[in-house]
A and B are shown apart, each in its own frame.
Chain A
Amino acid sequence: MSARKGQKRVLLQGNEAIVEGALAAGCRFFAGYPITPASEIAELLSMRLPLAGGTFIQMEDEIASIGAVIGASLAGVKSMTATSGPGFSLMQENLGFACMAEVPCVIVNVMRGGPSTGLPTNPSQGDVMQARWGTHGDHPVIVLSVSTVQDCFEITILAFNLSEKYRVPVIILSDAVVAHTREVFTFPHAREIQIVDRALPSMPPEWYIPYEDSPSGVPPMAPFGEGYRYHVTGLVHDVRGFPTQRPEEIKALINRLFRKITQGFHEIQKVQRFMLDDADVSVIAYGSVSRAARQAVKEARREGVRAGLLQLITLFPFPRSSVESVLKQCRGVVVPEMNVGQISREVKRVNRWECKVEKYNRVDGRLITPKQIRQLIFKLGT
């Protein structure tokens, strides 16, 4: 984005841009527990939220953090937490609660190497599948990835918007490199920022059925304390929110939870296409790896290979149709990742064409370089 008159340009790190994005999106509540490389998000919000009339609280652990976030959201306030691998693991049970009770919230996971305490200060992309499947049971969830400081701002706003619109937790996957790299960032004009707020009930309390189905599948959400007294539970519930064990009611709930997301694929599944129109060999990448991939594609083009990049912004729901069109068109696709191969499996799963899909992985805490990706492009292109 090029700066126009009156626009503010500053140097920011990814974690700071997430804070700016959250505040711009209307986030007014943060609960968290310190962890590298995510702590700056909490620190900065502890300073900024009171100025915005919001609330920051440092909780006793990550389980408590996400509990408080869900509570604040139930009371009508846009809420967020931020953590890294070990804390993200602790959040899984309540993340499922937010899916089940349909409570909007945003969870930032600045990934570090794992498993366990792992590599606190090194980048990784090891939590991709955990973000999708970490909490138990079949559940819908939205997972977005960030690769630049500008992304951190914009994708955080998108995360809040999707979370509010679909009443689901949205997970942002960042990594230590994006989090701590300083880049020039241009604040968009306030009027250029589109903000989505959850739908409130338009009917009087007597008519409000908190989990009633509708064409969108997303029921309006009454904040606690405004006359709509209803029940919220993590148990499977009927349309009134009360626990049920009736097969037809169970099925209706679970199906609706998925349908509301499926119906929104067109606006949830975000990708960035780079030099793909005539590409013959492509890279499919996300997060900080896509930066190296972009560079590699440019270099390969200079040397005569028709290379392209499909950068995944949305990791889940998996942007299948965008990936399929690349697989259909190219003879080879490289999927570089800082893990042992998580998204590459998804890519292979949807590949029904002759396209050769090669994964490339690094798990040594170091970044994948443009050179490494370029070599793979050449290998598949010849």
Chain B
Amino acid sequence: MSQGVTKLIHKYLRHDKKFPHVWCPGCGNGIVLGALIRAIDRIGLEKDEIVLASGIGCSGRMPVYVDFNTLHTTHGRALTFATGIKLAKPSLTVIAIMGDGDATAIGGNHFIHAARRNLNLTAIIINNQIYGMTGGQSSPTTPYGSYATTAPYGLIEHAFSIAELAVTAGAPFVARGTVYHVETLEDLVKKAILKRGFAVVEVISNCHVQYGRRNNMGDPVTMMKWMRDHAIRVEKASSMSIDDMEGKFTIGVLADVEKPIYTEEYQKIREGAIKGRPTGGPGHG
């Protein structure tokens, strides 16, 4: 283990938390955690300023290990709690970490509304295409035809593309990465945290235990190779035909636009209301 990594572990992981962690050996969640910590370190944020909020799932266990203000909410609801925290204390950097089921099944409504509302939050969704924690049931991102414990004959539903969903819902910053493209991932997470507005990073990750095993990719390396072979950088994808993109997915920044931020708009409302203007908000100066 390199010295740099050891230093970061000491700086950001909790000393009073009993390790080992709950994740299976080779799980992509650890790679996402690593990318997150390096991104935070590169930005130079203080640990006190950061809130890491999660939902329920394997991904949901991430906050317990890191030395920030950490919150493990209910299944699918991380963004709602994060919204309250951010509104109450806009100076905090609030990051929500979610699973694919967490963010787009039970929490799907919160996800699209958070994207539309545009608080300055960062949402990281670890998309392992399955319900990991509960033992391999299908999720809204399980590919058509795949096998899951609740799809023993093959799945007949169609998957969400999380990043595209976020773009459509209005999120001003949307990116997709994978746990294979580690440096890109770190960079995307950093950009998302620095983005002023609701920023989404979808991370394609491996759950070789609950997804891979049932779908001819029973080990992390096979799954990573699959990511390597199917991920196309957005820049390159723009010059590719629809046929060439068949079965592939893009990685990189999918959207980066400016939009008014909720907390700043609300501050204008406060000031306007106090001055006696009935509405001091958007479009009224």
Contacts and interface: CB of A to CB of B under 8 A. Distances in A.
Interface of A: 29, 31, 47, 50-51, 53, 55, 57, 59-61, 63-77, 79, 93-94, 97, 223-227, 229-235, 240, 242-243
Interface of B: 16-18, 47-49, 51, 53, 63-64, 67-74, 77, 79-89, 91-92, 109-110, 113, 266, 269-270, 273-274
A230 B69 CA distance: 5
21 contacts: A29-B87, A64-B83, A67-B84, A68-B81, A70-B84, A71-B71, A71-B80, A71-B81, A71-B86, A72-B85, A94-B74, A94-B77, A224-B69, A224-B92, A225-B49, A225-B69, A229-B67, A230-B70, A232-B71, A232-B72, A242-B18
Contacts of A232: 70-72
Contact of A51 (B68, B83, B274): B274
B53 to A, nearest CB: 8
Given A60-B113, A74-B85, A224-B51, A55 B72 contact: no
Contact of A50 (B49, B86, B88, B270): B270
Nearest to A53: B270
B110 A225 contact: no
Name the 5 nearest CB pairs between A and B, nearest first: A71-B84, A67-B80, A68-B84, A75-B88, A72-B84
Given A60-B109, A69-B84, A76-B89, A231 B51 contact: no
Contacts of A67: 73-74, 77, 79-81, 83-84, 110
B17 A242 contact: yes
Contact of A233 (B64, B82, B86): B64
Given A73-B84, A93-B74, A229-B47, 19 more contacts: A51-B274, A55-B87, A59-B80, A60-B113, A66-B80, A67-B79, A68-B80, A71-B53, A71-B83, A74-B71, A77-B89, A223-B89, A224-B71, A226-B48, A227-B48, A229-B68, A231-B63, A231-B70, A232-B71
Given A59-B80, A230-B69, A64 B85 contact: no
With most chain B CB atoms within 10 A of its CB, the pick from A60, A66, A73, A231 is A231
A290 B103 CA distance: 46
Given A60-B113, A64-B77, A64-B113, A225 B82 contact: no
Contacts of A240: 16
A64 B110 contact: yes
B6 to A, nearest CB: 21
A65 B83 CA distance: 10
Contacts, number: 137
A68 B47 CA distance: 22
B122 to A, nearest CB: 15
Given A70-B81, A71-B85, A225-B89, A60 B64 contact: no
Contacts of A75: 84-85, 88-89, 92
A9 B77 CA distance: 43
A75 B273 CA distance: 24
A93 B106 CA distance: 13
Contact of B273 (A29, A50, A243): A50
Contacts of B88: 29, 55, 71-73, 75-77, 79
Nearest to A47: B273
B77 A63 contact: yes
A77 B273 CA distance: 21
B131 to A, nearest CB: 18
Contacts of B79: 67
Contacts of B92: 75, 224-225
Contacts of A97: 73-74
A225 B51 contact: yes
A71 B113 contact: no
With most chain B CB atoms within 10 A of its CB, the pick from A50, A66, A225 is A225
Given A57-B83, A230-B70, A233-B72, A225 B274 contact: no
